[in-house]
Homo-oligomer: A and B are copies of this chain.
Amino acid sequence: MNAAIIGASGYSGEELVRLLSRHPNVQLAAVTSRSLAGQKVADVMPALRHAVGDLEFTSSDPVELAQRDDLDVFFLALPHGVASEFASPLYKAGKTVIDLSADFRLNSTSTYENYYGHPHPAPELLKAAPYVIPELADDSWKEATLIACPGCYPTSVQVPLIPLLKAGLIKPSGIVINSYSGVSGAGRKVAEDFIYCERNESMKAYGLPKHRHLSEIEEQLEKAAFADCLVQFNPHLAPMARGISTTIVAKSNKASIESIYSTWQKTYKGKPFISILPSGTYPDTKHVTGSNRADISAVYDPRTDNFVITSVIDNLLKGASGQAVQILNLKSGFEETAGLI
């Protein structure tokens, strides 16, 4: 199987290159970037010097790419809005498209417009594109050829919450989510706020109270809960390169901590990338950095009747590129962990 990465100049793109260049079942056949075309991948991503040989960035347009017979699967690591420009012709040409942007994550075009500030660029494709956290989606998504990869914060939220909402163990209203992301979450952005001396030893909130990922979180939680969910979602920047730490407060719906754990265990039995930690121990971003794993745990507070749930992921792996490769693996019938361990 020959894969192409479209728009590989950022940190997610680099992780895709890393993962696909060592994948046992995939050949990384093309890496494109308008700004880097003609440059060697090894020069732009010096950490991958030993892995990428003489591979060069190419600058291809969507139509041309759609016509190439030698490329089977396309990973889109592009900004929202731009991804659609590629997804449409590729999808129509029958290619497999795994999109890491926000373009196909929402079902509702009005929510998209509300949060992204412009009309949805390809509404006709929304129905075709399932939203896939592999451990949570039902298997029908594997038939799709256009797949929406979830955002990083939303993955850290849904892995612990979706099973609990489906089982009715927590109340869908009043959920409070605080998330702390490593600086790579902002991409390879060159701005004063992201230089070392500003972010080092520094922690702060941003984008309150209506971060774009909120739309995706609420839409998915509502689908699981069959009820309205109004979530308070507070993203922050943390002084580290990678990792997301998420802490969720949710009202118990007359449920015990044991029922939380048994529901998780049932949902995630045999899933290699979900670790359920005992109540009273706490997920640590350091333990998932560089892996495609999500670690989760919960405690019950009898004083408040709340569950406090914590989760961690590597924002670039389970939160982006790792999950995208996991999706390819499952869709293609490869080992779920191929190229990911």
Contacts and interface: CB of A to CB of B under 8 A. Distances in A.
B195 A189 contact: yes
B50 A206 contact: no
Contact of A240 (B51, B203, B209, B303): B203
A105 interface: no
A196 B295 CA distance: 22
A213 interface: no
B247 A291 contact: no
A289 interface: yes
Interface string A150-174: 0000000000000000000000001
Determine how many copies of this chain the complex contains.
4
Interface in A165-206: 174, 176, 178, 180, 182-184, 188-192, 194-206
A275 interface: yes
A247 B205 contact: yes
**Residue from A231, A245, A306 having most chain B Cβ neighbours under 10 A:** A245
A334 to B, nearest CB: 15
A312 interface: yes
Contacts of A191: 190
**Residue from A11, A206, A232 having most chain B Cβ neighbours under 10 A:** A232
Interface residues of A, number: 78
Interface string A318-341: 000000000000000000010001
Contacts of A180: 180, 203, 236, 238
Contacts of A202: 240, 243, 284-286
B241 A272 contact: no
A46 interface: yes
A290 B174 CA distance: 37
A118 interface: no
A229 to B, nearest CB: 11
A315 to B, nearest CB: 11
Given A47-B291, A240-B239, A282 B192 contact: no
A199 B196 contact: yes
Interface of A: 11, 21-22, 46-47, 49-51, 174, 176, 178, 180, 182-184, 188-192, 194-206, 208-210, 230-232, 234, 236, 238-243, 245, 247, 249, 272-273, 275, 280, 282-293, 295, 299-301, 303-304, 306, 308, 310, 312, 337, 341
9 contacts: A47-B288, A50-B292, A190-B192, A195-B195, A200-B240, A203-B245, A204-B312, A205-B247, A210-B301
